[in-house]
Chain A
Amino acid sequence: MTKRSSKLTLAVAVAALTFASCGAPGDDSGSGSSASDAAVEAAEALGIDLDDCPADMTDPLGDTAKVGLTLPLTGGPAAAFAVLGPGVKSAFEEANAEADLPTKFELILKDDQFQPDKTLVAARELVQKDGVVGFSGVTGTAGVLAIRDLLREECLPGIGLPGGGGTVLDPAYPEVVSGAVPFSLDARVWVEDVNERFPEGAKIATFIGNTESGKDYAEQIDHWLEETGSKSTIVDKETIDAADAAAPSSAVTTMRNSGAEVLFAAPTGAQCISIMTEAANQGWEPVIYMTTNCSSSTYFGAAGGAADGVLTLQTYKDVGSPRFADDAGVQRVRDVLKEYGGGVDLTNTTAYSGYVYGQMFVEAAKQAAASDLGLSKLGLIVAARNLDFHPDMVADGIDFTTSGLSDVAPIEAGELNSWSVAEGGFQQGKLYDFEGELTQK
C-alpha cells in the first residue's frame, strides 16, 4: 500500500469511527406502551404483544389522523384502479362531515404502480413520513401480502384491503381485514351449485388466469370438489396470461373437445368478455361460472348474447343493473361520490367498491370510539376484528361480519346470479351463505 493510499484509508477509517461513535443510526425503537389491563387483554386475544408495538398504540388518535392508500396512479393498471382513490376518500370525507367521531381522517394516496415491491416502499413512506394510523383500500392479494409484515411490525390496522386470496385471510395477521370477496367463496359456491345441478357429476373445464388469484382459484376448486365429495371431475385445465389480449380460440376449442359440460372461468379484465364470446362463437354451450372479479354489467353487457345465462357470484350491488336502479343504498353512495369524489365517473363500479373499503374503516372507527379502548390504533384493530354491519353497496341479506380470530373473513356470502339479455342485467339467484366457514384453520 502506498503512503498516499494509507493516508486516505486512515482518513476514511477515522470518519467511519467518528460516525459510528454517534450511535446506531437505525436505533429508533420506542416500543412498549403503558396500556391498561383491558387493552393488554384485547391485544393478547388477537395475538398482539403490545410490548412489540409503538408506545402510542393505545393512545387516542387525536383531532386529526392520516390514513394511507397505495394504488396504481401511473402505468397500465392505473386505468382500472386509480378510481379507487376517490371512492375511498369519499367515505372518509363523508365521515368527517357527518359522523360524530373524535377524529377527522385525511386519506393520503401514494402511487405503487401495482407492483408489490413498490407497494411496500410507498407504505413505508406513508408510515414514517406521513405518520398514517392505518391503511384502507390497498388492492390485490400480492400487494396486501407485501405490506402485512409492515402492518404487523408497526401494529397498524389495514381495514378494507381488497385482496381475495386465501393468504389474506390469515389469523396470524390480525391487523389485516380483507374487503374483497374471497376466491374460496367463489370456488365453493361454484362447486356447490354444480353438485346441485349435476348430482351424478359433471365434466368440468377450467379457464384460469396466470395470476395470483388464478392460483388461488385452481387450489380452491380442487379443495372444494374433494371437501364436498363431488362426483364431478376436471377434464381440462386452460390458463391465460393476464396481459393476453387475443381471443382464447385454441383454449376454447380444447375445452369444447374435452366434452366439458361446465366451465369455471377466472380470467382478468377484458378476457371476461372474450371467453364468453369465443365460447358462443364456437357453439359451445356449457354452464359457465364467471369469477366475481368479472361480475359487472360492464363486462356482461359488452359480451352481448354470449353472456345470456352465464352465472356469477355477486356480493356488491351492480350499479349498472336495472335491479338496483332505484336502490336507496346505491343512490345514497352515488350522492356521496358526487359530493366528495371530485368528479369521479359515477357509472364506474370500482369507485363504489372504493367507497365500501373506506366505509369499513369508518365503521371500525365508530365501533372503536364507542368501545372501552377508544379510537386508537388498537381500538381500530379490535373493532375491525369484530365487525358486524351492512354496507349500503352490498346486496340485502349479506353482512360484513368478523369475530376475533375465529372468523377473519368479513364476506362469506353471495348471490349466484345469472345475466339476462332480455332484462339487460343480472337476475337474482340463490343466496349462498357460509358465514364463519372460510377462515383458515
Chain B
Amino acid sequence: MALPVHIPAGSRADIGWRVGRVVLIALLVFATPYLVPSFRLSQITGALVLAIAVVGLNLLSGFAGQISLGHAAFFGIGAYTTGVMTVKWETAVPITLVVGMVLCFVVGVLVGLPALRLQGMYLALVTLAVGVLLPSLIRRFDGLTGGSSGLFGMEWEPPGIAYFAGRGGETVWLYYVTVVALVLACVVVWNVMHSRIGRAVVALRDNEAPAIMTGINRAFVRTVVFGLSASIAGLAGGIFAVQAGILTPEAVSLLLTINLLVAMIIGGRASYWGPVFGAFVIYFVPVWTSDLSQGPISGVLFGALVILLVFVMPNGLAGGLTSLVRRVVVVVPQPPRGATEGPSPVPVEPGDPAAGNPPLEARLVR
C-alpha cells in the first residue's frame, strides 16, 4: 500500500481514525497507573501539572502572540491560595482551586491592562515585574505563606472507594484529578480559539489595525484572554500545591516561567498537543540526564537537547509529529455539502461556521 493513505474527511475511515486516537489516549490514561510504579506516576502527574500551566501560557503567548514572563506568578497565586486555604483555614481543596482561578483571573485582567498599549518586549517587562514580585511577597508575608521555610501539609484525600485504596491511592487520585483538569483546560482553550473570541485573538495577533476596524473589541479580547490564561495557570498551581505537598518561593520563581516558555516552544507554539509534549520534555529530561551523569554535566546535556530540538523541530514536537503522521495518513478536506464536485480536493474557505465551514486550521491539523 502506497503511503500516505488518503482519507476523505467525514468518511467512515476518518471517523475511525479520530475515534481510534481518542480510545488509544483513554486506554493509555487508564492503563498508566497499572503500568508504572507509584513514584513514576507521581512524576507523570507533575509533568501533567506543568502541561496545564503551559496550556494557559500557550493561549496567551502561542495563540495570542503576547509574551508573558510572569506566568510563574499566576501559578504561584493559585498554588498559595490552595496552600494557605487548606492548611490555615482547612477549606476543601475544590473550593480553593476555584478561588485560586478567580483570583488569578482578576490579577490576570489587571496585569493584562497594559497589554492594551504595550507589545513585545515592553509587555514582557511588565509581566516580568509581576513574576519577580511574587516570591518577595511570599517571603514578606511569611506568617501566612510560610515564607522561605515553606508551606507544608497540603493534601487531597482521595474518595473512600476501593479503587483509590492502598499506599499509592492518593497518587492515583491526584493523577486522575490532573488528567481531568488538563482535559478541561484544553477544552476551554479549544472552544475559545474556535469561537468569535478566538478568531478575534488571531486577527489581533496577525494584523491589529484592520482587526480593530472590523469592529473587534481589542480591550475586551486581550484582557479576557490574559485573565483566562492566568486562571488556567492558577489551576495548575493549585493542583501543584496538593500534589507536591510543599510550597516554597523558589518553586514559583522566574525559573518556572522560563521552563514554561521553553516547554511551549519545544512542544509547539499555538498547537493543542504541544504543551503536553513540551511539559513532559521539560520535566523528565533533567531527571534522566541527572541519572546518566551525576554532576554538573547533566545541566549541559539538558541544554544541548533543548537546542537540538529547536533546530531539528522548529515547529515543536507537535509539529514534528504531525508531519510524521502525514507521511502515513492524510485526511483530505472535502468540499462543503451542496458544492459542485470537483476533480480534486476543493479548498475550504476558513472561518465561517455559520455557513457550515469550520475554520481551515481545524480541518487540516489532525
Binding site for B on A (CB under 8 A): 4, 7-8, 11-12, 15-16, 19-20, 22, 24-29, 73-75, 78, 82, 85, 109-111, 113-117, 120-121, 124-125, 127-129, 141-142, 145-146, 149, 153, 165, 167, 210-212, 214-216, 241-242
Query: When each residue 149-167 of chain B gets 1 if its CB lies under 8 Å from chain A and 0 otherwise, what string results?
Result: 1101000000000111111
Given A121-B43, A167-B149, A212-B148; 18 other pairs, CB 8 A cutoff: A4-B15, A16-B26, A20-B163, A24-B163, A25-B34, A25-B172, A26-B38, A27-B168, A27-B169, A73-B290, A78-B296, A115-B251, A116-B248, A116-B250, A116-B251, A145-B246, A146-B246, A212-B147
Contact flag A26-B165 (CB < 8 Å), given A120-B244, A129-B37: yes
B residues near A111, Cβ cutoff 8 Å: 286-287, 290, 294, 298
* Residues of chain B lying within 8 A (CB to CB) of residue A28: 38, 166-168
Whether B133 sits at the interface, judged by CB under 8 Å, is no
Contact A241 B296 (CB under 8 A): no
Tally of A-B Cβ pairs under 8 angstroms: 156
Q: Tell me, yes or no, whether B39 is within 8 Å of chain A by CB.
A: yes
Whether B136 sits at the interface, judged by CB under 8 Å, is yes
- Measured CA separation A26–B174 after assembly (Å): 11
Per a CB cutoff under 8 Å, which of A7, A78, A129, A165 touches B149?
A165
A11 adjacent to B296 (CB under 8 Å): no
Q: Are B147 and A210 in contact (CB under 8 A)?
A: yes
- Shortest B281–chain A CB gap in Å is 16
From the candidates A15, A85, A109, A165, name the one contacting B27 in the complex (CB within 8 A): A15
User: Least Cβ distance of A383 to chain B in Å?
Assistant: 26
- Would B246 and A116 count as touching, CB distance under 8 A? yes
Q: Chain A residue with minimal CB distance to B165?
A: A24
Check: B33 CB closer than 8 A to any chain A CB: yes
Closest CB of chain B to A422's CB: distance in Å?
Answer: 38
Q: In this complex, what residue of A is CB-closest to B247?
A: A117
Q: How far is the CA of A25 from the CA of B37 in the complex (A)?
A: 9
Structural contact, B38 and A8, CB atoms closer than 8 A? no
Q: Is the CB of A73 within 8 A of B294?
A: yes
In the complex, residue of chain A having the shortest beta-carbon distance to the beta carbon of B35:
A25
The 10 closest A-B pairs by CB, nearest first: A26-B168, A27-B166, A25-B33, A111-B290, A74-B299, A212-B149, A117-B244, A128-B39, A124-B39, A26-B169
Dominant SS at the A interface? helix
Closest to B168 in A: A26
A15 to B26, CA, bound (A): 8
Interface residues of B in 27-81 (CB under 8 A from A): 27, 30-31, 33-34, 37-40, 42-43, 46
Chain B minimum-CB-distance residue to A20: B163
User: Bound state CA distance, A89 and B223, in angstroms?
Assistant: 54
B296 cross-chain contacts in A, Cβ below 8 A: 73-74, 78, 82
Asked if residues A26 and B166 are in contact (CB atoms below 8 Å), the reply is yes
Q: How far is the CB of A254 from chain B (nearest CB, A)?
A: 18
Partner of A8, one of B19, B148, B246: B19
Contact with A along B221-261 (1 / 0, CB 8 A): 00000000000000000001000111110110001000000
Docked-complex contact B169 and A73, CB < 8 angstroms: no
Whether the pair B294, A117 counts as a contact (CB closer than 8 A) is no
Taking CB atoms, residues of chain A closer than 8 Å to B298 are: 73-74, 111
Give Cα distance in the complex from A167 to B153, angstroms.
Answer: 14
- Contact assessment for B39 and A115 in the assembled complex, using a CB-CB cutoff below 8 Å: no
Shortest beta-carbon distance from A255 to chain B in Å: 20
Q: How far is the CB of B63 from chain A (nearest CB, A)?
A: 26
**Residue in A closest to B15 when the chains form the complex, CB atoms:** A4
* Chain A residue contacts of B40, Cβ below 8 A: 125, 129
Contact of B38 with A82 in the complex, beta carbons under 8 Å: no
Given the complex of chains A and B, what is the CA–CA distance between A116 and B252 in angstroms? Answer: 12
Closest residue of chain B to A115 (Cβ to Cβ) is B250
Given contacts A25-B34, A128-B37, contact A15 B149 (CB under 8 A): no
* Contact A215:B42 (CB < 8 A) given known A27-B166, A145-B152, A165-B149: no
